[in-house]
Amino acid sequence: MKFNTKVIHGNQQAEPHTGAVNVPVFLTSTFAQESPGKLRAGYEYSRGSNPTRQALEDALASIENGTRGLAFGSGLAATDAVLKLLNPGDEVIAGDDLYGGSYRIFTKLFEKYQLKFKFINFDHPEKLAEAITEKTRLIWVESPTNPLMKLVDIETISRITKEQDILLAVDNTFASPYLQNPLDLGADIVMHSATKYLGGHSDVVAGALVCKEKSLGEQLHFIQFASGGILGPHDSYLVLRGIKTLALRVQRHSENGEKIAQYLSNHPKVGQVFYPGLASHPQHELAKRQMRGFGGMLSFNFKSGAKEDAIHFLEKLKIFTLAESLGGVESLANYPCMMTHASIPEERRLQLGITNDLVRLSVGIEDVEDLLNDLEQALG
Ligand SMILES: *Cc1c(COP(=O)(O)O)cnc(C)c1O
């Protein structure tokens, strides 16, 4: 099946008992057994598995070309499960331009359990080879990154990790499976904040993992079962429903994103625009090779460099809503230094380029003329 078909049919069947075309929301914590240990359909207790969550997990595996999907109560619960594969003393190498919450769970939570984290710039894969030690067990990357839209060459990195028995996990939240499938590029684990494009309607917080290797899938399922960070049946249904329109939505997000990036890059008040679809993006060639489109996420700063300009712009927006999060049908604007990336120490944040005049946009699927008019009046 091709992608547009897979989001609707991939590993998805009508409910076997009634023929219901949509998977029912199985609001049950437990399942009647015929005799001790003799289960009717393999279900025992909903922390272990639940038919609605299972349907979502199967659909996730299909759209990311993996063998096992797992659905969690949030993106960070999914990240938490990956880190629990590791042992004290193990080292993780992560990108230096990460979602703020990923940085927080690494440094504020897991360093306490003696995991070591190194943050590097993946622009130069030879730097990765230098950073790897015999203790390195996991490489964690985002591509494109949040909020600076930097790309990581997943295939090149996977060649390095495969030689050394190191796991490569890719946070694929920004691209979504419509634009990029990291498992096909050699990653071992793909992670999503399903809160974003997979759910797509800003109505649910959820996370996902997909992997190809069966025994890794078993280990991650054991962690999910043992730690309990599962997604409930109703939320599983919402994400499953979101996935059905993922292809249509991301297509429009990308069309609108490209037009808005072009518009901003020609605006006299705008400094730099960070969008992989622009020819001026330093990794535009890699973006064309690695992604099937450029998506709806972009960020920009002001020529003046002034914090006040960014704040004034954000206050003036009418259609773009000033809010955390991204990937929903509605356009959102975010101010990384005070919102999504406030957990990164200021000195480090500025070093990375997450300056006080940086604005991030999640371009929605509205009519692009209305979005352009909104930006025009707010910049004016
Ligand atoms: C939102 C987000 C997360 C965290 O996901 P939650 O669902 O909020 O826990 C992780 N990575 C990226 C890139 C995100 O945008």
Q: What CATH number corresponds to the domain at position 60?
A: 3.40.640.10
* 275 contacts 257 by C-beta, under 8 angstroms: yes
Say yes or no: 303 and 169 in one domain: no
Q: Per residue in 224-279, pLDDT tens?
A: 999 999 999 999 999 999 999 999 999 999 999 999 999 999 999 999 999 999 99
Model pLDDT, residue 72: 98
User: Could you say which of 53, 84, 99, 360 is catalytic?
Assistant: 99
CA distance readout (Å), 187 to 192, 209, 216: 14, 12, 12
Same domain, 203 and 323: no
Domain count, the chain: 2
Task: Work out the average pLDDT over 167-181.
Answer: 98
The answer to whether residues 149 and 283 belong to one domain is no
Q: What are 11-49's pLDDT values in tens digits?
A: 999 988 899 999 999 999 999 999 998 999 999 999 999
Whether 197 sits among the annotated catalytic residues: the reply is: no
Give the pLDDT confidence of 132-155 residue by residue, as tens digits: 999 999 999 999 998 899 999 999
> What is the value of pTM for the model shown?
0.96
Nearest Cα to Cα of residue 297 among 270, 264, 258: 258
Is residue 202 in contact with ligand 1, taking CB distance under 6 Å? Answer: no
Q: State the pLDDT at residue 340.
A: 82
Q: Are residues 224 and 144 in the same domain?
A: yes
pLDDT for 156: 95
The verdict on the CB of residue 76 being under 6 Å from ligand 1 is yes
Based on the fold, state whether residues 213 and 295 are members of the same structural domain. Answer: no
Same domain as 263, residue 156: no
**Mean pLDDT score of the chain, rounded to an integer?**
96
Give 97's pLDDT tier (boundaries 50, 70, 90): confident
Give every CB contact of residue 39 below 8 A, 6+ residues apart in sequence: 31, 33
Report the pLDDT value the prediction gives residue 301, as an integer from 0 to 100.
98
Q: In the numeric block, which tokens belong to residue 300?
A: 């920009």
240 and 126 in one domain? yes
Read off the pLDDT of each residue in 55-70 and give the average, rounded to a whole number. Answer: 98
d(CA 105, CA 101): 6
Domain range enclosing 306: 248-379
Catalytic one of 6, 84, 196, 360 = 196
Tell me the helices (H) and strands (E) count for the chain, helix number first.
Answer: 14, 14
Question: What is the arithmetic mean of pLDDT over 81-96?
Answer: 97
Residue 124 pLDDT exceeds 90: no
Same domain flag for 44 and 145: yes
Q: Which long-range contacts (CB under 8 A, 24 or more apart) does 43-52 make?
A: 46/230, 46/233, 47/225, 47/228, 47/230, 48/225, 50/26, 50/230, 50/233, 50/236, 51/23, 51/24, 51/26, 51/233, 52/23, 52/24, 52/25, 52/26, 52/233, 52/234, 52/236, 52/237, 52/240
Q: Does one domain contain both 101 and 238? A: yes
The sign of the torsion formed by the CA atoms of 350, 298, 320, 71 equals: negative
Average of per-residue pLDDT across 344-353: 88
Query: Given the CA of residue 76, which atom of ligand 1 is nearest to it?
Result: 9
* Residue 303 belongs to domain with CATH number: 3.90.1150.10
Identify the residue with better confidence: 341 or 291: 291
